[in-house]
Amino acid sequence: MKYAVNPFASEGFFSLPSVVEKNIKIASHEQLKVIIWAAKNGMGEIDPKAVSEALRISESAAADALDYWTDNGALLKKGAPEVVEAPKKETKKAVRAATVLPSRQEIARRGNECPQIAFLLREAQMKFGRALKDSESGLIVWLYDDQGIDVPLMLMLFEHAKAMNNFRIGFIERTAMDWIDAGISDVTSAEEYLTTQKAKQGAWSVVERAFGIPHRKPSDKETDFAHKWVNEWEISFELLKSAYNICIDNKAKLSMPYINKILESWVSSGVKTPEDIKKNEDKPSAAQKTSAKYNIDLAKKRMFTSEDE
């Protein structure tokens, strides 16, 4: 059975940002529900609490979903410092959208007069396992001529796409733009970038399992938290679970900033295992130590005073 849109229901139609289509396969069901609700009802400011009540999801889940779509450019965060960066992002997007790839004649001309471009086109064709389309050849020429990606870096871009089993021109273009935005200009910086990205992905995978989060693409903030906890602070899986359980017990919802405060206090206190948590809780605080010392000193003073009398 096939389906078609009901034309009589057109009054209820509304548009979604184009970025939603790009993320529809990787966004969670809560993230998709939130962006649909926001597109339909969010003409003004969007309050996570209102989203939470409307969709019957936790307020933290609503906030996380709103952050996800903010990171992907579908929403803007009002009143936050990050909005200051919006003009730069919009400028970059406008320049890229206006970029015109070289024509078939220009591609042929550049291939004949530039040995490096001819070499890259041959290498790409071998990786694709077929003749290149004009758009594919044009992108390679454009990346080399206009974006300054040299031969070694372009070859690494090809190898990365092959390693990711995603040797499609769209993936190559997105990756190239990410590298340009990150300031990558040589193979060494590209290797460092890929190593860091892989480490961040691995860290998020650990956090997903520790917190019981269904597999999805994390927001930038979630990725940063995971990277800090797992790769920088080297928090164990068991401690992550313990911090999560404490968060749920006290907040009744998942809160990454709250968990970060818990883990930060454990790191500063030298807590490394769940057993250390109990030991740390049993230790007297600085205030308690000061109070105890004061009481002892006072008792000694009174004792010596009574003896003198």
Residue by residue, DSSP assigns 139-165 as: HHHHHHHTS---HHHHHHHHHHHHHTT
For the chain, percent helix, then strand, then coil, each to nearest 5? 70, 0, 30
Domain boundaries, the chain: 15-96, 104-190
CA distances from 241 to 221, 224, 283 (A): 19, 18, 22
pLDDT tier at 259, thresholds 50, 70, 90: very high
89, pLDDT greater than 50: no
Cα separation of 220 and 70, whole Å? 10
Cα separation of 140 and 1, whole Å? 43
Q: Please answer whether residues 66 and 41 qualify as being in contact, where contact means their C-beta atoms are separated by less than 8 angstroms.
A: no
Q: What is the mean pLDDT of the chain?
A: 79
Cα separation of 246 and 197, whole Å? 29
pLDDT at 302: 57
Least trusted range by pLDDT, from 132-136, 170-174, 271-275, 290-294: 290-294
Q: Please answer whether residues 79 and 110 qualify as being in contact, where contact means their C-beta atoms are separated by less than 8 angstroms.
A: no
Residue in 110, 113, 91 with CA at minimum distance from that of residue 102: 110
Please compute the mean of the pLDDT values over residues 235-254 and round it to a whole number: 91
290, pLDDT greater than 70: no
pLDDT tier at 233, thresholds 50, 70, 90: very high
For 182-213, what is each residue's pLDDT tens digit?
Answer: 899 899 999 999 999 899 999 999 999 999 99
Please compute the mean of the pLDDT values over residues 139-148 and round it to a whole number: 91
83, pLDDT greater than 60: no
pLDDT at 258: 93
The pTM for the full model equals: 0.51
Greater model confidence, 68 or 306: 68
Say how many C-beta atoms besides its own lie within 10 A of residue 178's C-beta.
Answer: 12
pLDDT tier at 50, thresholds 50, 70, 90: confident
